[in-house]
Structures are given as C-alpha cells and as structure tokens.
Structure 1
Amino acid sequence: CLGTNAMTLHWTRHRSAENADDEISVELAVLRQHWKQILQIFQKALIDQDDISCVLSHFQHAITLLTDEVASQDRPGPILLYFVSEAILDTFFVWSLSCPEYASELKYHQLRCFEFLLSRSQNELLFYKQIFKPLLNLLRSCESSLSLDLIEKHMIVVLNQVCVSITKSPELLEFCFDISAEHGPSRFVIFSLLIPFVHRDGVAGQQARDALLLIMQLSNRNEQIARHIVEHTNFCPILATGLSALYSDLPHHLSTNNDEWFILTKKEWSESPALVQFMNSLQFSNDVIQIAHPTIGHHLIQYIYHGFLVPVLGPSIHQNTMDEVIAATAYLDLFLRTIHEPALLKVFLKFILCARIDEMSLLDTLIQRINFNTKLGLVSLGLFYTLVNLNCEDIMYRLIFMYEKNIV
C-alpha cells in the first residue's frame, strides 16, 4: 500500500508539472498571437481609431499575461523572456510616435500598463533594458503632455514607483544615466520630470514630493547624484522661489474673534488651503535639508535666505498696514515652531538677528512692537516666546545677556 501511495503521489506531481507546462505553453501561444495581431496593424499605412482600439486591446491582454507571470514568481518566466526578446515595449513606444493624432491616448494607456506592471511585479523588472529603456523614453515624451491631467496623474504614479525601485536597487541609478546619456549629462529624466510638481497641491503633489525625497535620500550616499542635482538642475532655486510665490498667496488678514488671540494653531492654519500648501512646501524643504547630501542642503539654504527670507518675508513684516504686519508676524512664528531641521532653523534665526529691511534692523523692529498695546503687541510677544523656548545661545545673548553686560 505504501508503495502504491508513493507511486500515486509521484504520478500526481508529474501530472501537475505537465499541466503547469501546458498552461505556460498556452499562455505563451496566446501572447504570440496578440503580438502578431499588433504587428499586422503596425504595418498599415493609415491608422484610424478602430486600429488604435484594436491595438490597445491586444496590448492590454499581453500586459495582463506578463503581469500575471511576474506577480506569481520571482524569476523570469517565458512570458517576460518573450517580451524581452521581441522588444515588445520598445517597439510599441516607437510605433506610437508615428501616430501623433493619437499620442495622448497611447501615452495614457502605456503609462497605465507600466503602472499596473510595476505594482504587481515580485522581481526587479527595471534591470531589463528592454523594459526600462522604453519606460524612460515614454516618460521623457510626456514632457510635452504635462498640461493633460490624466497623463500627469499617472506619470507621477509611475515616477514614484521607479523611485521606489531605485531606492531598493541603487544600481539602477547608473542605468538611468547611461540610458539618458545620449541626451547630455544634464538629463536625469526621472528627477527632472518631478521638479515641476514640487509645489503642486493634492495627491499628485504629495506623490511627487515623496518620490523626490527618495532621490534626496539616495543623494546622501552618492555624491555624483548630489553634484548633478546642484549643477545641472534648477531644483534648489525652484523650491526656494516657490516658497516666495506661495507666501504671496497667503491671507493678508487673519480673522480672529478673540481679542486675546496671539498664535496660529494647527487647527486654524489647516483650514486655509493656501497656508496648508505653503506649510507642505516648507516641511518638504525641511525634509530635503535633513536627508539630502550636505551640498544640496547648503545650496537650498542659500536660496531660501536670499530668495525668500530677505526679499519677501522681511518686507512683509515691515509693511505699513497693521493687519498685514500682524499676519506676517504670526506666520514667522508659525514657521519657527514648524521647522525642526537645525540648519534650516539656523538660517531663519540668522534672518531675524542680522537682516536689515529699509536700513532698519528686523530684530529691533520686532522688539519695539512688544510695547504696542494692540494685537500686534500680543503676536510679537508670542513670537519672542517661541524664540526664547528655542534655547538658542545667539538669541539669548541678543535678547538678554547683552543688556545684562551693559548694566554691569
């Protein structure tokens, strides 16, 4: 009986293996048929909407076969190897360029397919040049379609997925630069495509910032990437000057019914979309300086000081309109309470201690306002309460010890 059971088990396993092989053979045959149908349409001189719909239908079926395979195993299977050997993704992308009237539709569906594929794969597909190259070419082509919301949305999702893959496998960074080398050393398409969304609100903006932070984290271990970002991209100036643009959109008057009000709470500022958007960008700047390579952090801090603090925030605190001055002072206090990266906090404190606006010391102006028997006086006191609680030696010296020395 034991021998019979063993033979039965062996036969069952053998049949299961045969069935699995048969299933793979069938799926591969189906894939080949879909690709054959696609190639036949590619050869047509004139393409209409019916052809596009037919091609996309076959292409999506082919992608589904590939996705099912890569989701179920961690080694390359026959479907993936067929995609690679036939350069299916690259061939499809090149053909799509020959149909400019359907460009947006074709880009959208290719992005969705890559999004679906990357989200299900158990192995690193991007190590295959026949996968990564057409993906980068597709992303590069999307630069001309950034005004289309659907393409933007899915492009950012795919960019985020690629950045996650690069974080898991940093070797892919060199692959990125090698592939884009023909476009010049200043082209790092993954990074460059994310920059325009650095100050975008909503889900798309947050996904773009998350992806950028992944690259910032990598830059801390890769000086070449850091140097490229500083020397060949406009990331730092766009991030800093964007703060200026967002600050100009903040409410110039803060509506408060309480005469004793002196500080912006999170509940209050979270109800202002403009202030939420600014705070998101400020927090992002804080995070970049905290995790990026010191070279990037240094350049960003310089741009924030000379491109936002001195020319924008300083004059707003020296305005003549009381409501606007109150708002600007409350904003400065909020920023100081939000920043937790020492290097960024230091440059804000340098601004308060050293900046001169219209030949007047900013610190002296703020100190004078403490004596005002108005809401501005309360808000100014709140600002100094925040400054004192920072336990900064320079602040304590300028506010307290310097005067004690004079008394002695």
Structure 2
Amino acid sequence: MMTLHWKRHHSIESLDDETSIELTVLRQHWKQILQIFQKSLIDQDDITCVISHFQHAVTLLTNEVASHDRPGPVLLYFIAESILDTFFIWSLSCPEYASELKYHQLRCFEFLLSRSQHELLFHKQIFKPLLNLLRSCESSTSLELIEKHMVVVLNQVCVSITKSPELLEFCFDISAEHGPSRFIIFSLLIPFVHRDGLAGQQARDALLLIMQLSNRNESIAKYIVENTNFCPILATGLSALYSDLPHRLATHNDEWFILTKQEWSENASLVQFMNSLQFCNDVIQIAHPIIGHHLLQYIYHGFLVPVLGPSIHQDLHEIPVKFSDLQQFSNTMDEVIAATAYLDLFLRTIYEPALLKVFLKFILCAKIDEMSLLDTLIHRINYTTKLGLVSLSLFYTLINLNCEDIMYRLIFMYLIPCRHVMCSQRRHITDMEIYGKNAEKFLTLRPSFANKNNNTNR
C-alpha cells in the first residue's frame, strides 16, 4: 500500500541517468514551458504554446501510470520538479487567461485520474496542486465549461477518498478557519446538489460517497452538520423546486386519479424534484444518524409544513362543495388536485422509514388553520370532482404503508363505534365472552393423547 508521505531520497540528479525516451521528451516539454514562464509579457500565442506542452507532458505521465502499478521515472520527475504546482502558481499570474488555464488543468487532472492504476493522490505534489486548483475554481463556477469538468474531477476525488480514507488528511485545511472552506471537496459540491443534467447527478453521486464515509467517521459527520449548510440547502432546495412544479396537471380523462412514472418522467421540473427527493432519501439512509436527523428536521420545518401543507390546504374550505366544479373555482381546485397527486407520488417513491415517518407526522399532526392535514384530506372525499378520486388514491397509498396511526384514523376510528352494524347485533360485538366460548370449542378438538388427564391415568 502506498504511504502518505513520499520518500525524499528521489531527486532530479537521480533521474538524470534515466534513458527512457519518454523522460527525455518530458524534459524537453518542461524546458519549453519554463522558458515561457520567464517571459515578462504573455500573449495568447504563449498561452496556446504552454498549454500544448503541458498537455503533452501530462499525456506522458498518463501513459505511464496507466501501464504501471507503481511510480515510474516520469511520475518521479513530475514530483521532483513540482510540475503541477509550478504550473498552477504561474497560471495565477495570468488573470486575463485564468479561465482557459483552469479549464485545461482540470481536463488534464480528469484524464490523469481516470487512467491511473495506482493512487496518485497519495503524492502530495499531485494532490496539493489539485486542491489549490479546485479552490481557485470556486470563483469561476459561473462558467459552465469549468463547472462541468470541475464536478467530474470532484467525483473522481471522492471515489479515491472512498477507496483510501487516509486521503482525508490532505483534504482538510487545518490552517483555515472553521467553515466550508476547510473541506473544499465537499463545499464545492453543495451548489450542484439540486442541479439537473449530468453535472448534478455526478455531484450527488460524489456527495453520497462522502455521506457513506461519514457513517464510519463521526468527526466528518459533525463537521458537515456544524460547519456547512448542506442540510438547509437540501430542504430549501426542495421548496424552490416544488414551487416550479406545474400548478395544473394535464389529464386526458375525468377518471384520472394518479401520477404514473411514465407521466411524471415526461415533465422536466418534476423529474428534477424527484431526483432531489430521492437524493434526500438516500442521504438519510446511508449517512451518519446525526446528518439524517438534522436533514429530517429541515425537511419537516423547511419544506413540508411551510410549503407543501398550504398548497394542499389552500382556500378550499371557502368553496362550497356544490360549487366546486364551477369555472371560477377551477384554478384553485386544479392546484389542490396537483398538490394532492404530488404528495401521493412522494409517498409512493420514498422508502427510507425515517423519511416516511416524517411525511406521516406531517399528514397526521401538522395543522393549518387549526385543522390537521388528514382531516382536510378526508373532507375532500365529499367532492364529486376529480379531487375526490385523487384523495382516495392518496388514502390507498397511506393504507398500504401499514401504519397503525393511519389505519386508526382512516379505518378503525369509524368502525369502533359500530354504527355500521345493526342495532340488534351490536350487543354481540361488545360481548367479550364470545371469544372465551370459542376458545373452549377449539380446545375440545384436541386429540385424546394430548389430554392431560388421560396422560396421568396412564
């Protein structure tokens, strides 16, 4: 296994005796790069030239690490000359070409990390300039091209950290003040957590790797909870994405009552919301419990109660049932139908028990205008419109969750008074002795050899 600190006895002199063609070519490229570094005025031709030499040098390194499982002469030369660090420091002196230089450095790291047969990041001369480059990209994330490749590299780093948790020693900047900048790998990923497209998915995958690591490392979990805005951003992001969902669902017939996967997968905004909800579900499932607990609190108080609740409850209590089909009330009715269908979809999608419990708590306990959400939903059954069907579909989903509280509120609470039973039969239901008689009847069916008295007589 590679050690964290590379041995110091390697030097440029010890590498000069290498006869490999690759090393000779590398030295020539590096020499050309250094000559450009020494120029006082840099123009676009110089930038193009230095990028070309740098790409050739990295290609030589990539070819070596792709075919060897241990450091070779090209890698040792990169380390001895601090090529990556020197190139990064020089790039800072060319602010007018900063974006172009960052882009090509990210591309080189992306190519290098994807081909390496051993853990390059254990070499400080490789990992340090990479972290410095990523820090510098924090102010350049408005550039889509840089964002795209930065997220890919961050994902690759998270994969390496998962395989070798010792790399966390390099990821934390102990000289920085407490805050997101201390764990730059993590803080750079957070803005992409609700992003759509490939970049968003890669960022979420990388964050899940860190969540998995936090489950085995409580200090990482505490840092995420106490020093980052990860949990608040997840919850508030759900609220923002929910506000972008269609307020009216296009349905083909009056018998429609449920959002199928085929239907919601054709709606880009709903797909984006479901991706974020699924991510929250996964985080709660695999992260350290303290992260899951904080995220659940933010989802309940930052999304369910202030956003989803009012969208379901809104103003319908002021619309008489017999007027619910009138055009003047159709907009509000359509919004409530959509919100109810969304809640049904959410409950059918999430599977983490802790998250389901929070949703059920919201339905059972959250009150809007002094009325619980469940009572509001039950009242909807009286509507003769599509809202009644959608509400019944939601109840079907709730009952299938086999939650005792839900079963009591939706079923048993109405059965226990026995109002559905004929008056002449109610006394038999309340007669508990009937169960004792049934037990005696079953006991008489025992075979004779199981009778205690018979066994005693023998």
Q: Are residue 161 (structure 1) and residue 161 (structure 2) matched?
A: no
Name the amino acid aligned to 1:131: I
Q: Which amino acid aligns with 1:388?
A: I
Tell me which protein shows more helix as a share of its residues.
Answer: 1
SS at 1:370 equivalent: helix
Q: How big is the shift at 1:191?
A: 0.4
Distance 1:150 1:23 in 2: 39
Q: Which residue does the alignment assign to 1:6?
A: none
1:406 Cα offset (Å): 4.2
Residue of structure 1 aligned with 2:214, choices 204, 216, 219: 219
Question: Counterpart in 2 of 1:196?
Answer: 191
Q: Decide which of 120, 124, 147 is 2:119's aligned counterpart.
A: 124
Contact 2:304 2:362 in 1 (8 A): yes
Counterpart of 1:191 in 2: which secondary structure?
helix
- Secondary structure, aligned partner of 2:247: coil
Question: Which residue identity lines up with residue 120 of structure 1 in the other structure?
Answer: R
The one-letter amino acid of 1:324's match is E
SS at match of 2:344: helix
CA deviation string 1:95-146 (max 9, x = no partner): 0000000000000000000000000000000000000000000001001111
Residue of structure 2 in register with 1:11 after alignment: none
The structural deviation recorded for 1:72 is 0.4
Contact 2:239 2:302 in 1 (8 A): yes
The residue aligned with 1:246 is 241
1:106: which partner in 2? 101
Q: Which amino acid aligns with 1:118?
A: L
TM-superposed CA distance for 1:223, in Å, is 0.3
| 1:36 Cα deviation after fit | 1.1
* 1:161 partner SS: helix
Aligned mates of 1:82, 1:145 — CA distance in 2: 31
Aligned partners of 1:379 and 1:110: how far apart in 2? 53
**Residues 278-317 of structure 1 correspond to what in structure 2 (within 5 A)?**
278-317=273-312
Alignment correspondent of 2:413: 402
Q: Does 1:366 align with 2:377?
A: yes
The structural deviation recorded for 1:398 is 1.9
Contact 2:18–2:73 (8 Å) recurs in 1: no
Residue 40 of structure 1 corresponds to which residue in structure 2? 35
Name the CA distance, whole Å, in 1 between partners of 2:33 and 2:87: 9
Q: Residue 184 of structure 1 is aligned with which of 177, 181, 194?
A: 177
Superposed displacement of residue 24, structure 1: 5.4
Amino acid paired to 2:241: L
Deviation at 1:401, TM superposition (A): 2.5
Distance 2:400 2:416 in 1: 22
Matched, 1:338 2:331: no
Contact 2:381 2:391 in 1 (8 A): yes
C-alpha separation between the residues in 2 aligned to 1:149 and 1:36? 33
Aligned length, in residue pairs:
386
Cα distance in 2 for residues equivalent to 1:56 and 1:269: 46
In structure 2, C-alpha distance between the alignment counterparts of 1:24 and 1:248, rounded to whole Å: 65
Q: 8 Å contact 2:259–2:345 — kept in the other structure?
A: yes
Letter in structure 2 aligned against 1:290: Q
Q: Under a length normalisation based on structure 1, what TM-score does the superposition of the two structures give? A: 0.93
User: Cα deviations across residues 314-371 of structure 1 (Å, max 9, x unaligned)?
Assistant: 0000123100000000000000000000000000000000000122211111011112
Please state how far the C-alpha of 1:182 moved relative to its aligned partner.
2.4
**One-letter amino acid matched to 1:183:** A
Please give the alpha-carbon distance, in whole angstroms, between the structure 2 residues aligned to 1:336 and 1:352.
Answer: 11
Residue 329 of structure 1: aligned partner: 340
Moved more, 373-382 or 354-363: 354-363
Q: 1:269 aligns with which of 235, 256, 264?
A: 264
Structure 2 residues without counterparts, runs of 5 or longer: 1-16, 316-331, 419-429, 431-458
Structure 1 unaligned spans of 5+: 1-21
Counterpart of 1:147 in structure 2 is 142
Q: Which moved more, 1:273-282 or 1:358-367?
A: 358-367
Return the alpha-carbon distance in structure 1 between the equivalents of residues 364 and 417 of structure 2: 19
Q: Which moved more, 1:166-175 or 1:95-104?
A: 166-175
Please say if residues 363 and 374 of structure 2, whose CA atoms lie closer than 8 Å, have aligned partners that are also in contact.
yes
Name the aligned partner's letter for residue 225 of structure 1.
I
Match of 1:29 among 20, 24, 29: 24
One-letter amino acid matched to 1:346: K
The Cα RMSD (Å) is 1.4
Q: How far apart, in 2, do the equivalents of 1:109 and 1:209 lie?
A: 24
Q: Which runs of 4+ in 1 moved over 4 A?
A: none
Asked if 1:352 corresponds to 2:363, the answer is yes
Aligned-residue offset at 1:30: 1.2
**Identity across matched positions, percent:** 86
Please identify, of 166-175 and 134-143, the stretch whose mean Cα deviation from structure 2 is larger: 166-175
